[in-house]
Structure 1
Amino acid sequence: MEMRKRGRRWIYLFSVVLIAFWVALPFVCPNEAIAAPEKIRLSMGGASTGTWIYMYCALLSETWKRYIPNLDITVLATAGTTANYIPMNKGELDLAGASTSGDFYALNGKYFTKEKLTDFCSMMPATKGFNQAFTYLESPINSWKDMEGKRICLGARASPTSVIQQEICEALGIKPKFVFSTPQEATEMVKDRRVDGMIYGVGAPWSGIMDVATAVKIKLIPMTPEEQKKVNKAYPYQVPDVIPAKTYNFQTEDIPTCQGIQTINVRPGLSDDLVYRLVKVIWEHYDEVVKASPPAKWVKAADIVHMVAPIHPGAVKYYREIGIQIPDRLVWKKK
């Protein structure tokens, strides 16, 4: 009987101590007891649903959420990457699909904005958009200057790609007779030989060129080194490059041209630490990104030096850590 009483007493005392411990814990270690990991919520402007850059933004979002705890990113459909600049400049977007040409226009107050926009930063390259000029195999057009006075299809009037091609021709001092239409209508006109050729800025290989090549024999039109330099000098967002041989089954040699880069931009106000982690995660898992989205293969981390907009300091920290030399003039600085 006495043993039972002692057992009950010990159970009672143990219960009192345990309850006291849990009651006192918040006062002894308030931070550890109360604080939970803070959820980081970001908004990301994509483009029209179904476009490559929108799907790429969604892919990045899922990759970040997989490897960065307590991160939530909402990818928003927008009217296009150029529609992302003004909201980001106002602080309404944290991340956004963009391009070096869009950066150039935004910084200089051209086309889609009446004022110069400066509150946005480059973070990473996404893919390349090659300026691809092509004509019939037997055509006398063998260089860009040969397109002078010829009927050349572009994209839709005032579309980003048609504006860029017009700028390139202006920089080269040539005046083709431009024919504006949708890309689909343009490729049909080439097939029917109603025009002399076409120029389009897009990733390679482009399905439009492959489609035309099934109907007629065509060739790509190269730029000379001097033409590449002229274009780059006039429009820094256009980088001299080549479309590698065998990108298309009819193409046996590298084709010199210029290209613009689709990019991911970031709001300057995002912390250096967070941007560093965002950049680090993508490049450390880039094989997964390329597997899910092959056009991403065209860029590498070193292409960050071709950005037009200043680069976020958090991103700069990562790129410099892996040995990429980024000049101070490319680093974003608080106004």
Structure 2
Amino acid sequence: MTLKQIISAAALIAVGSTASLAETRVTYKSAKSTSSYYQMGVQISEAMKAGSNGDIIVTVEESQGSVQNVMEVRARGGDYVFTTPPVLVKLAQGGKAMFKDKGNPAFNDIRALFPIPSLTMHFVVSEGSDIKDFAGLEGKTILLGKGSFGAREGAKYLKLFGLEGKVKIADVELSGAVQALKNGQIDGFVTAGSYPAPNVIEAAASTGVKVLTLNDEQIKKSKRTRLTIPAGTYAGQKEDIVTTSLPVAAYTTTKMDDDTAYALTKTFWEGKKSMGSAAPWWNGVDSSLMTNITGKIHPGAVRYYKEAGITLTDAQM
């Protein structure tokens, strides 16, 4: 090999090493592979790769739920990003509810990066049922599903609004809700997910539905976050729908370096418009959702928010 060839080979090795050092690899733990939140993780992964010109590589991992995501911070490193409602972070740090007797100092190191679409409650009824409000559910057949956040929340609301025992609960899986509504087997169903929800889109387009609005008193009783689904989100929806939601955000820990947290946060916000063109649920995410993050935000992410002129609270910094 000539001296010139040796120098050229050395230069190629040096360039390769620099590229390797520049590449940031992150694990994003989301939800079950069949859920919309897993699909969001895939979209974030694609947006990160595109927005960073391949410098940020995100691997999406399936999860059994938000509690598992939080628990795993005990054994994960600085490349770990996960999704969970802010309320679960608060419970973990306080050793309460499902985290009772499972406390760990690592929970205090959890830091937020950015919000993602909220779990949004939908009480969907067929147009033919003539149900106009929650009182109209009495004597009707409603599908709640089984084991999901939406099913638990739906049952809670029926009790809170004085409808426990007054509504017939259909013994059908949520996956069969639209078909059951079409066949007249049920008068309505309850579902929770990011809006616009695929099953509500299908029902509105094929059957004709109404999504019930909650009044101020009902929202207060629910102790959840108020959310408005804009008019026109679903076929035939002429007015805004006022409902409740459970905020969700992407988190990491203080093990992640500031530059990586900054790059992830900046790339997310800059790629959100493109993600919204492909999946409308991203259009419901804007800087107003930052107020739903009740805990601390990673210093690297804070740097981005200051640059972008997005106001944070003292408690978040």
Q: 2:285 aligns with which of 292, 299, 321?
A: 299
The 3-state SS of whatever aligns with 2:282 is helix
* 1:95 CA drift (Å): 0.5
> Per the alignment, do residues 143 and 90 of structure 1 end up closer, same or farther by CA in structure 2, a change over 3 Å counting?
farther
Q: 2:173 aligns with which of 167, 182, 185?
A: 182
Counterparts of 2:98 and 2:130, CA distance in 1:
35
Correspondence 1:266-281 to 2 at 5 A: 266-281=252-267
Correspondence 1:183-332 to 2 at 5 A: 183-213=174-204, 216-231=207-222, 234=223, 238-331=224-317
Q: 1:88 aligns with which of 73, 89, 103?
A: 73
Residue identity matched to 2:102: E
What does the per-residue CA deviation read over 1:164-195, in whole Å, with 9 as the maximum and x for residues that have no partner?
Answer: 33344455454245445422223333333333
* 1:203 CA drift (Å): 2.8
* 1:257 CA drift (Å): 0.9
* 1:146 CA drift (Å): 4.1
* 1:223 CA drift (Å): 0.6
Check whether the contact 1:243–1:257 (CA below 8 A) recurs between aligned residues: yes
Counterparts of 1:309 and 1:155, CA distance in 2:
32
Residue range with higher mean Cα deviation, 253-262 or 42-51:
42-51
What does the per-residue CA deviation read over 1:209-257, in whole Å, with 9 as the maximum and x for residues that have no partner?
Answer: 34434564432211112222332xx2xxx32122221222222111111
> Per the alignment, do residues 137 and 113 of structure 1 end up closer, same or farther by CA in structure 2, a change over 3 Å counting?
farther
Residue range with higher mean Cα deviation, 220-229 or 195-204:
195-204
Check whether the contact 2:109–2:254 (CA below 8 A) recurs between aligned residues: yes
| Number of positions where the alignment pairs a residue of Structure 1 with one of Structure 2 | 298
Counterparts of 2:172 and 2:299, CA distance in 1:
42
Residue range with higher mean Cα deviation, 320-329 or 107-116:
107-116
Give 1:8's aligned residue: none
Check whether the contact 1:271–1:314 (CA below 8 A) recurs between aligned residues: yes
The 3-state SS of whatever aligns with 1:121 is strand
Counterparts of 1:113 and 1:137, CA distance in 2:
45
Counterparts of 2:132 and 2:90, CA distance in 1:
30
What does the per-residue CA deviation read over 1:78-113, in whole Å, with 9 as the maximum and x for residues that have no partner?
Answer: 334443221124335610233446546655644588
Residue identity matched to 1:159: S
What does the per-residue CA deviation read over 1:137-186, in whole Å, with 9 as the maximum and x for residues that have no partner?
Answer: 35453223443565321122x22221233344455454245445422223
Identity of aligned residues (%): 23
> Per the alignment, do residues 64 and 203 of structure 1 end up closer, same or farther by CA in structure 2, a change over 3 Å counting?
closer
Give TM-score, length-normalised by structure 1: 0.74
Counterparts of 1:269 and 1:185, CA distance in 2:
43
Correspondence 1:34-113 to 2 at 5 A: 36=18, 38=21, 39-66=23-50, 67=52, 70-91=55-76, 94-100=80-86, 102-103=88-89, 106=92, 109-111=96-98
Give 1:3's aligned residue: none
Over the aligned positions, Cα root-mean-square deviation in angstroms equals 3.5
* 1:71 CA drift (Å): 4.0
Give 2:10's aligned residue: none
Check whether the contact 1:132–1:257 (CA below 8 A) recurs between aligned residues: yes
Unaligned runs of 5+ in 2: 8-13
Counterparts of 1:193 and 1:104, CA distance in 2:
43
Q: 1:155 aligns with which of 145, 148, 151?
A: 145
* 1:326 CA drift (Å): 1.6
Counterparts of 2:266 and 2:124, CA distance in 1:
39
Residue range with higher mean Cα deviation, 72-81 or 251-260:
72-81
Unaligned runs of 5+ in 1: 1-17, 23-31
> Per the alignment, do residues 298 and 185 of structure 1 end up closer, same or farther by CA in structure 2, a change over 3 Å counting?
same
The 3-state SS of whatever aligns with 1:86 is helix
Give TM-score, length-normalised by structure 2: 0.77
Residue identity matched to 1:163: R
Residue identity matched to 1:88: V
